[in-house]
Amino acid sequence: MKKLVSNADLESLLKSLVEKAFLKSGPNVKTSLDVFEDFNRTYEPSIIDKAEPELLLFQYGTYDWYDDYGKNFQISFTRQFGSNDNEEEELYQLTITLYFDKQGFGDVGKITLFSEENAPLDTWFRTVRDSKGFIVAESHQPKRYEVTLNLT
C-alpha cells in the first residue's frame, strides 16, 4: 500500500528526495528518473480525484522560454492527477525538470509520452530509459534542475 502525502507536502517531499540522491551521485538524468519512479511507486496524494486519470508524462526537447537562461535542452518527468481540493477542477502536475546546455542534443528532437491508463508502469519507465533524449542526456551534466507542483 502506498503512503499518503498531503498535496501541500508533495513538492517538498519529492524535492528532498531528489536533493538527497544528488548528494550521492550529483545531478543527472538517471538518478532523477530513479527517484521519480520510486516516488510514484511509494507515495500517493492524500486528496485525489479518482474520476480523473492519474498519468505520468515524459517530455524532452530544446526550448527557449525567454527567461534569463536562453535556449536549453530540457527533460521532465511529471505525475499528473486530479484533486478534489481545488475549485477550478484543474489537474496537478508534480514535475522534475532538468536543464542542459543545448550543445550535444542537436538531432534528438522532441517527445511527449504519457503513460497509458491501466498499462504496466514498467513498460512506460522502460520506454523512457530507451528514448534517444534520455540516452543522450545520460552523458551530460544538467546545468540546473527544479521540482515543481503546478495546476494546469
8-38 tens-digit pLDDT: 899 999 999 999 999 999 999 999 999 999 9
- Number of Cβ atoms within 10 Å of the Cβ of 146: 13
Domain ranges in the chain?
A: 3-151
With CA atoms as reference, report the closest residue to 126 among 53, 37, 35: 37
Separation of alpha carbons 123 and 110, rounded Å: 20
Bridge partners (DSSP) listed for residue 98: 75, 145
d(CA 142, CA 100): 5
Report pLDDT digits (tens) over 49-96: 666 778 999 999 998 877 766 789 999 999 998 876 656 667 889 999
User: Which helix (H) or strand (E) covers residue 38, if one does?
Assistant: helix 29-42
What pTM does this model have? 0.91
Tell me 140's DSSP state: S
Q: Shortest CA distance to 137 belongs to which of 46, 54, 52, 73?
A: 73
